[in-house]
């Protein structure tokens, strides 16, 4: 007992009891933690060079598209704030008959095809008060974003920001070459080769209360009101009425198009997305204009569907595809799909945690409760935790004196029966 207890309380070289943390341990741990934080911070700072700007255009679903400078998630949230229900579609199909408002920001510099226009015009005429918002493609928010970031970037990162800005401009110009020089598209006439113009004045129904000095709207190509000379002999007739909602020195920024064949339905054509996409809506005046767009769709609460499409536009279908009736169709809807995936992983982990141990059941060997040596080791550990050498030695001395007295009494009793 004495040897075991004394061993448990032998003083360490650092001056503390055996089993206690050396006095230098915690300062060393703190220093190591500080060094690690500096290394991680430097790595994160340098990691900015490896970050990419999400470039999804005209889309609102998915983590990357929500963060995209050219996405439509902010505009969708404005419709939600107005009380509308918002959903998505990637095709022109009968399911759109459930919608009251369609928002289409195509990632395609070509205007809508005849088949797509006919489907959408039939949709307009088959309901009451339906609105189609068409957002011209001739804009990309990435160059504007890098222009804004450049002045505030650290000096060592400015070259990288310039490189990314130029890359975004080249990519945009390359895609823009797909835009026709001039093409009649019934709701508008596309004209590509027009002088680049930064809007400095506004006129029209939506211009009231907007400060033109604070907006950042840029026009390149134009979506003009079509003239009879623009229409070919095989082209459909020009719609009955065009109402400029917002314009700048004769250039149309927003136009309402109506026709008796559509009933009280209407098409609102925006020249481009330079004031309704995610990054442009950082501008307060742009948000005011976007609010005018939302209000123009009527006070009645309805279902808004954002049509997401790439080159060629969305496919036109006479009926819904069979996979639309699949019980797993909800897995294509964000954020339900992400939630279900995480819940599934959690369920698998819980099942593994609760799963039985395979094999023949048997009792594990138990530790003997009468092992006095474990009592000695436990007492030594408790004394070591106090980190008080004098207290530990005092307890040992007290025990030895007590054991000595008890031993003497037993001997006396044995010698004097």
pLDDT tens, position by position, 3-47: 444 444 444 444 444 445 555 555 555 556 555 655 555 444 444
Q: What is the pLDDT of residue 388?
A: 87
- Mutual orientation of helices 73-81 and 284-296 as an angle, nearest 10°? 60
DSSP H or E stretch at residue 7: helix 2-8
Cα–Cα distance for residue pair 253/224, rounded to 1 Å = 9
Q: What is the pLDDT of residue 13?
A: 40
For 184, phi then psi, to 5°, come to: -80, 130
Q: Specify whether the CB–CB gap between 92 and 120 falls below 8 A.
A: yes
Indicate if the pLDDT at residue 2 is higher than 70. Answer: no
Q: What is the pLDDT of residue 405?
A: 67
pLDDT tens figures, 109-126: 999 999 999 999 999 999
- No. of helices (H) and no. of strands (E), the chain: 11, 12
Which region among 52-61, 130-139, 276-285, 302-311 has the lowest average model confidence (pLDDT)?
A: 52-61
Mean pLDDT over residues 66-76, rounded?
91
Cα–Cα distance for residue pair 117/153, rounded to 1 Å = 45
Q: Which carries the bigger pLDDT value, residue 33 or residue 404?
A: 404
Cα–Cα distance for residue pair 256/260, rounded to 1 Å = 14
pLDDT tens figures, 337-392: 788 888 889 989 888 887 777 667 777 777 777 777 787 888 888 888 888 888 88
User: What mean pLDDT is reported for the chain?
Assistant: 83
pTM of the model: 0.67
Which region among 127-141, 265-279, 310-324 has the lowest average model confidence (pLDDT)?
A: 310-324
In sequence order, what are the residues at sequence separation of 6 or more whose Cβ sits closer than 8 angstroms to the Cβ of residue 23?
14, 15, 16
Q: Which carries the bigger pLDDT value, residue 232 or residue 306?
A: 306
Q: Which carries the bigger pLDDT value, residue 142 or residue 51?
A: 142
Q: Which carries the bigger pLDDT value, residue 236 or residue 26?
A: 236
Q: What is the pLDDT of residue 288?
A: 95
Which region among 66-80, 265-279, 305-319, 392-406 has the lowest average model confidence (pLDDT)?
A: 392-406
Indicate if the pLDDT at residue 161 is higher than 60. Answer: yes
For residue 307, give the 3-state DSSP assignment. Answer: strand
Give the strand pairing for 101-104 and 131-135: parallel
- Burial of residue 208 (number of CB atoms within 10 Å: 0-12, 13-18, 19+): exposed
Mean pLDDT over residues 252-256, rounded?
96
For residue 297, cis peptide bond before it (omega within 30 degrees of 0) = no
pLDDT tens figures, 353-366: 877 776 677 777 77
Indicate if the pLDDT at residue 395 is higher than 80. Answer: yes
Buried/exposed code over 236-246 (b: 16+ C-beta within 10 A; e: otherwise): eebbeebebbb
**What percent of the chain is predicted at pLDDT more than 90?**
54
Q: Which carries the bigger pLDDT value, residue 50 or residue 192?
A: 192
Rg over CA atoms, the chain:
38
Q: Specify whether the CB–CB gap between 4 and 378 falls below 8 A.
A: no
Indicate if the pLDDT at residue 417 is higher than 60. Answer: no
Sorted by where each begins, the domain ranges of the chain are 63-312+334-340, 377-408
DSSP H or E stretch at residue 182: strand 182-184
**What percent of the chain is predicted at pLDDT more than 70?**
81
Q: What is the pLDDT of residue 34?
A: 54
Here the tokens at position 161 are 């920001």
Q: What is the pLDDT of residue 56?
A: 87
Q: What is the pLDDT of residue 268?
A: 97
**What value, to the nearest 5°, has the Cα angle with vertex 71 and ends 80 and 103?**
55
């Amino acid at each position: 007992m004495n040897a075991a207890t004394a061993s448990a309380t032998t003083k360490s070289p650092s001056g503390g009891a055996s089993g206690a943390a050396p006095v230098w341990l915690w300062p060393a741990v703190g220093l190591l933690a500080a060094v690690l934080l500096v290394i991680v911070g430097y790595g994160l700072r340098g990691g900015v060079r490896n970050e990419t700007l999400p470039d999804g255009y005209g889309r609102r679903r998915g983590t990357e598209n929500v963060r995209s400078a050219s996405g439509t998630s902010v505009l969708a949230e404005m419709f939600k704030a107005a009380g509308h229900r918002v959903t998505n579609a990637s095709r022109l199909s009968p399911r759109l008959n459930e919608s009251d408002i369609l928002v289409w920001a195509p990632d395609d510099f070509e205007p809508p095809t005849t088949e797509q226009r006919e489907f959408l015009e039939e949709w307009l005429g088959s309901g009451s008060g339906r609105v189609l918002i068409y957002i011209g493609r001739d804009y990309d928010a990435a160059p504007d974003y890098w222009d804004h970031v450049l002045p505030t970037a650290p000096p060592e990162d400015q070259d990288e920001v310039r490189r990314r800005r130029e890359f975004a401009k080249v990519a945009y110009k390359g895609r823009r070459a797909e835009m026709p020089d001039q093409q009649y598209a019934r709701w508008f006439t596309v004209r590509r080769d027009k002088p680049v113009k930064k809007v400095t004045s506004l006129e029209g129904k939506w211009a009231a209360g907007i400060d033109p000095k604070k907006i950042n709207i840029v026009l390149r190509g134009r979506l003009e009101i079509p003239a009879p000379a623009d229409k070919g002999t095989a082209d459909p007739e020009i719609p009955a009425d065009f109402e400029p909602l917002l314009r700048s020195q004769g250039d149309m920024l927003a136009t309402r198009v109506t026709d008796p064949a559509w009933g009280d339905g209407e098409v609102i054509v925006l020249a481009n997305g330079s004031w309704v996409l995610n990054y442009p809506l950082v501008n307060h005046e742009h948000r005011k204009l976007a609010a005018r767009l939302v209000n123009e769709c009527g006070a009645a609460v309805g279902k808004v569907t954002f049509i997401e499409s790439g080159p060629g536009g969305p496919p036109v279908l006479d009926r819904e595809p069979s996979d639309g009736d699949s019980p797993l169709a909800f897995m294509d809807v964000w954020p339900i799909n992400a939630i279900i995936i995480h819940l599934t992983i959690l369920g698998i982990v819980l099942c593994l945690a609760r799963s039985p141990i395979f094999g023949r059941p048997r009792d594990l060997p138990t530790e003997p409760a009468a092992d006095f040596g474990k009592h000695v080791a436990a007492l030594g550990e408790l004394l070591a935790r106090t980190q008080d050498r004098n207290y530990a030695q005092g307890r040992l001395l007290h025990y030895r004196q007590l054991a000595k007295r008890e031993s003497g009494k037993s001997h006396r009793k044995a010698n004097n029966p």
